[in-house]
Amino acid sequence: MEMYRKYGPIVIETLPGRYSLVHLFSGADIQTLYEAEGKMPFRMGATAFKDYRLSRPDLYTDVGILNLQGKAWQKVRSCTQQHTMRVRTTMAYVPCFNTVADDYLDLMEQLMHEDGRLRDCELLLKRWALEGVSLASFDQRLGSLRNPLDTTSDAAAMLNDMVIAFRCMQKFGYRFPYFRHLPSLLWPRFVEAMNDFMTRVYRRIEAAAERFESSPEEHEPTILQHFLADKKMNFKEILTFMGDFILAGVDTASGLIFPTYN
């Protein structure tokens, strides 16, 4: 808001070693932008995520939908949007999200202080988002909303990994990309967190895929089941997208609660 008050509704920010950023603060301008968006828009992406993915070809088939451009981006989007973005399709996941929401409300009541406030609400929202996104993705509860949270569980480790990764991203994203040219204390922490997060996610996805193939579920298919049935992507492409989907889903879902409330 300080930038808006100082410079107005449209601000161009130039960062050394990066593309210029255009900040829009007017809802009308944002609407105009999205109405004019082409089929293959160019997006800045995230340099740190791109470099990390390029360093791990054993885990990733590409640099991820956040960093893909042109036809490669359009291919992934066309293969995935039907089961992740269309309102009619996503409404099928409402029952499982309602179950997670009820558990989250119970957790809030348990952790609420006498003054009616919650401490570290952001982390609690990430716990809620991780549980919901995981359930919709591969039909498995991680135990993110248990009280107390098992510190040895995948849920606790994945939450910690995400906190570290996004804190590093905040510093990587708004400074000169020195980590690409000079030794950095943050870069090894980022890589370690991402390695652990993706290893745990991939293990869960692979186990779920084997479970679905051996005994198909009778209820509404998960996002992973839809991708496996469509056969539009190979398994490594599915793993790459699902890793991005879970990571981004937790970060954006928990972050969007604030503007929704306000």
Q: In this structure, are residues 20 and 12 in contact, taking their beta carbons and an 8 Å threshold?
A: yes
How high is the pLDDT of residue 26?
93
pLDDT of residue 216: 65
Distance in angstroms (rounded) separating the CA atoms of residues 132 and 144: 9
Phi/psi region, residue 206 (left: phi>0; alpha: psi -120 to 50; beta: rest), is: alpha
Contact 100, 124 (CB under 8 A): no
Q: Where in the chain is the domain with CATH 1.10.630.10?
A: 44-261
In this prediction, residue 13 carries a pLDDT of: 86
28 vs 10, 34, 35, CA distance in Å? 11, 10, 11
- What pLDDT digit, counting tens, does each position of 202-230 carry? 999 999 888 888 776 666 788 888 898 89
Predicted confidence at residue 218, as pLDDT, reads 62
Residue 50 · residue 62 · CB < 8 Å: no
Kindly report the CATH number that applies to the domain delimited by 44-261: 1.10.630.10
pLDDT tens column, 129-155: 999 999 988 888 999 999 999 999 999
Please answer whether residues 63 and 50 qualify as being in contact, where contact means their C-beta atoms are separated by less than 8 angstroms: yes
SS (H, E, C) 84-123: HCCHHHHHHHHHHHHHHHHHHHHHHHHHCCCCCCCCCHHH
- What's the token pair of residue 140? 């498995």
Nearest C-alpha neighbor of 11 from the set 2, 3, 45: 3
Considering only CA atoms, give the Rg of the chain.
Answer: 20
Between CA 123 and CA 111 the distance in angstroms is 12
pLDDT averaged over consecutive 10-residue blocks of the chain (262 residues)?
Answer: 91 81 91 86 84 92 89 90 82 88 94 85 90 88 94 95 92 79 90 95 90 73 88 90 90 72 54
